[in-house]
Structure 1
């Protein structure tokens, strides 16, 4: 037992940012539900998770370049491009819908790979490379969808934005009223999508040599190089995976809204919020510290702020001011350890 307590203290101390963000999220979420007239209901949970999916995936996409010690300014643009592609392709027969979803995800993944190739072989700083590729992504999105619109399959949109009961009832996989299914039928499909994709991809990746190399590069690229780690492969994998997660956000946004929109301001907003979510989740902007699960928590915290605006009837004119202050504080926290450290090497001890 003493050994277990010691390990728990060590784990918390090494992940203090993530721990604090998780506690704050739980407390604020409970308070929000107490204040909401229909709090602690499946309907409220479904609505909240629906509004959170896109920013969660974009925040996870941002996490990988940040762990390398860089920033990806194209995640919002890639999400927007995927959103527009999905608004054109995700309709028709079941085969066409699945094919359209695959092409959408491949589009984002390809852009992520492009970012990695430019950074690795072009030897350009990530922030500059992704600024350029992000502009390309927005240009393609405008070409595909010059005006908002689209025709995403309605059954798919209904099934994936509701609870498990509606998902099963829509596609008739089994009897949705079955007794064994009732205890979990209320569970929101959007939340299930977040958990399955986030944990199902991030946890295995983190445990691979490539995933560990991403952390090593963020801590000290020269030390990683001297250790013989596959640096180029890790950078390519990180940016490619970032493109995939950004595409997941764009695909879900198209399914949720049944349309695509090549909105430049939306792309910029998602990119900025993704950086704030990463920092709120305990990932260091210097790289090497943090993870995608922390960014998931940080993204949910940001969305919870918007939920409070609604429940407290905050003046819309004041909302951008409050959001700006929160984002500024969140990003500033990322530099706090740097300001408190005289020797950069101490950050990695």
Structure 2
């Protein structure tokens, strides 16, 4: 196979994320052109901070979807860890650092609970995460029955501001998670096992793939990333709030972002890079409607149309693969 064929093959394999990237660039360019204040570092930073939250939750959703599952608790874990952060991420620098670790550990523990019930209880992920999500929301209400709390302003300025006065820190955070977390993980045995489980669990079992370990780690990692999103949410708002509608919205939009980014709900394909791009596409819809002074009710309409298009394209790809297999 020559270099041109390899390039075309890679292009087809990454058609989903690339398509989402093209859509995002067009939409964001239109947003900047129509914005009354034109382009500025402040506008880009604000857009980045809003999109980064959904992007991290979408990254959390990606791993369960790759294993042909679904995590309906990612939004609730985000809210729970945000409320926890409003309690523990303050004080002296060492207390802030300890609080950050505690928040991330709490997120990972919530994900590990999901994974343990799914793997050892042999239950459907949708049912398990729907039930545990209600539990996590109850814990969030226990921590923050009303909005409030305090979060380190120094850490908030560091993670929601700009590096060198121009680059949004949240963009750097997303790139760091992808380069230091996702890229190495997908090349590990467990990372490849997640894809194998999603492609065909029976074939993976017959091939000796560690199915249980792959699923458990997938949901644990989803909880960890949801905890990171919760930490970021508290740093943006400088408080904590247990809001079920907000959690549900982030959960549903995370699924939409994953699909728009090219990850198939049938499992076995996709990745976090596409999910991040999909999240930015969804967030830009609201910004576009704002600059064009369109009714707010149009946002779910456009989000639904884009999601429907992405699902249809993914379904056609799966149908073509099945038709090829039927020939043999």
| TM-score class normalised by the smaller sequence | over 0.9
- Contact in 2 for aligned 1:69/1:218 (Cα 8 Å): yes
Q: Does 1:249 align with 2:248?
A: no
- Contact in 2 for aligned 1:61/1:242 (Cα 8 Å): yes
Equivalent residue runs for 1:193-272 within 5 Å = 193-272=173-252
Give the Cα separation in 1 of the matches to 2:314 and 2:145. 37
Which blocks of at least 5 consecutive residues in structure 1 are unaligned? 166-184
TM-score for the superposition, normalised by structure 2: 0.94
Equivalent residue runs for 1:74-89 within 5 Å = 74-89=73-88
Shift of 1:330: 4.2
Which blocks of at least 5 consecutive residues in structure 2 are unaligned? none
Shift of 1:29: 1.9
Give the Cα separation in 1 of the matches to 2:87 and 2:304. 34
Shift of 1:328: 4.4
Give the Cα separation in 2 of the matches to 1:204 and 1:7. 22
Give the Cα separation in 1 of the matches to 2:4 and 2:106. 46
Show the counterpart of 1:150: 149
Show the counterpart of 2:291: 311
Aligned residues: 327
Show the counterpart of 1:175: none
- Contact in 2 for aligned 1:273/1:327 (Cα 8 Å): no
Equivalent residue runs for 1:116-195 within 5 Å = 116-165=115-164, 185-195=165-175
Show the counterpart of 1:182: none
Show the counterpart of 1:113: 112
Give the Cα separation in 2 of the matches to 1:25 and 1:328. 17
Give the Cα separation in 1 of the matches to 2:324 and 2:148. 51
Give the Cα separation in 1 of the matches to 2:111 and 2:314. 24
Give the Cα separation in 2 of the matches to 1:134 and 1:145. 16
Sort the Cα spacing of 1:344 and 1:126 in 2 relative to 1 into closer, same or farther, 3 A: farther
- Contact in 2 for aligned 1:59/1:296 (Cα 8 Å): yes
Give the Cα separation in 2 of the matches to 1:343 and 1:322. 30
Sort the Cα spacing of 1:70 and 1:34 in 2 relative to 1 into closer, same or farther, 3 A: same
Show the counterpart of 1:90: 89
Give the Cα separation in 2 of the matches to 1:43 and 1:217. 43
Give the Cα separation in 1 of the matches to 2:321 and 2:235. 49
TM-score for the superposition, normalised by structure 1: 0.89
The DSSP-based 3-state class of the residue aligned with 2:2 is helix
The DSSP-based 3-state class of the residue aligned with 1:52 is helix
What is the RMSD computed on CA atoms of the aligned residues? 2.0
Shift of 1:201: 0.5
Give the Cα separation in 2 of the matches to 1:35 and 1:261. 33
Deviations 1:60-103 (A, max 9, x none): 00000000001111111111111111111111000111111111
- Contact in 1 for aligned 2:263/2:275 (Cα 8 Å): yes
